[in-house]
Homo-oligomer: A and B are copies of this chain.
Amino acid sequence: VRRLEDVGEHEWIARLTRRLSGAGKHARVLVGPGDDAAVIAAGRRPLLLTTDTLREGVHFRTRWLTPRALGRRAFAVNASDLAAMGGLPTFALLALEAPPATPVPHLDALVSGFASAARETGARLVGGNLVRGSALALTAALIGEAPGRVVTRAGARPGDGLWVTGQLGAAGVAIRALTRGRQARLSEPPRRLRAGSVLAGLASAMIDVSDGLLQDLGHLCRASNVAADLEIEHLPVAPRCQRALGPAAAAFAAIAGEDYELLFALPPRREQALARVRARLGCRLTRIGRVRRGRPRVRVLDGAGRPLALGRRGFDHFR
């Protein structure tokens, strides 16, 4: 019998998603399982729903982050999934798992961090749950609304440009150092909510970069049924990653996860519109490749346009 470690997180989810959508359409489910968030019809505006977990020993170790920063991070990684569809968070639930010996002030700071990060985006923590566990784990569920158009992973067309917000690789370098027992500061994920809601009006497809650019671009390609070229010399590599890794920095930044930037496809006819909104996004934008016709597959090209093999493709919980 096959086990999760044989199949991997992403293949299991892809199969499950196909099976669940086989159960037939539901009039109020506008986007079902398999994207960054689900979109449902409820009242005037569609609602976006998403859930994500941060687990001690998997996503973090306690000495990496203060309890407050951990709470803020749990909100941020969930909000990023809403941003990737053009949504803004409105309400949040927080399910906690904690060992009996957890100091109460730690747990209080964790929830305060989560609640204050929510309030800063106009959202509210409205409920939650606490169970005994062997490690600390935070599972948030976020409800969001989109001020305008909602964009999924599934609309990229051949000829579209591929763009990314901000810079890549800094979180990966910090996590690598921390994992090796060295000191490093794991910064709070960028908040791309405003950028996401503006870009959703222009992009043909969008996803947040959580498991690594290469892997998340692969998800976008599979959902859109297209291929892509990634021009690695155009990657906006974070200075911290560049300093730490030198010539290997761009390849590292292409597979390191935890950046929580937005990756999107843009039809050429919308480039002028993008130029007009650019100043409002609050972050840099970089064109890093293009969408091609073909089976879902990402080709990484060097400066001379030659294909490169990067080895590992990004994060999977079970492989």
Binding site for B on A (CB under 8 A): 1-7, 9, 12-13, 16, 19-20, 23, 26, 28-29, 32-33, 35, 37-38, 40, 42-45, 47, 49-53, 55, 58-59, 90-91, 93-95, 97-105, 107-108, 111, 115, 119, 124-135, 137, 139, 141, 143, 317-318
Contact = CB atoms under 8 A, between A and B. Distances in A.
A9 B119 CA distance: 25
B5 A100 contact: yes
Given A4-B100, A93-B51, A115-B20, A130 B9 contact: yes
Given A7-B104, A102-B4, A49 B13 contact: no
Given A4-B98, A20-B115, A130-B317, 19 more contacts: A3-B101, A4-B99, A4-B107, A6-B104, A16-B111, A19-B108, A20-B125, A26-B124, A32-B124, A38-B126, A38-B127, A49-B91, A49-B141, A51-B129, A51-B139, A93-B141, A100-B318, A132-B318, A134-B135
A53 B139 CA distance: 10
Nearest to A52: B129
B23 A119 contact: yes
B143 A51 contact: no
Contacts of A37: 127
Contacts of A26: 124
Contacts of A49: 91, 93, 126-127, 141, 143
A131 B91 contact: no
A129 B12 CA distance: 11
B130 A12 contact: yes
Copies of this chain in the oligomer: 2
A3 B124 CA distance: 27
Contacts of A91: 28-29, 38, 40, 49
Given A38-B93, A44-B43, A53 B12 contact: no
Contacts of A100: 3-5, 318
A104 B2 contact: yes
A47 to B, nearest CB: 7
B317 A132 contact: yes
Contact of A131 (B28, B53, B105, B124): B53
A79 to B, nearest CB: 15
Given A53-B131, A141-B141, A102 B40 contact: no
A135 B35 CA distance: 26
B51 A95 contact: yes
Given A1-B105, A97-B137, A103-B1, A55 B16 contact: no
A228 B27 CA distance: 45
Contact of A43 (B2, B42, B97): B42
Nearest to A48: B127
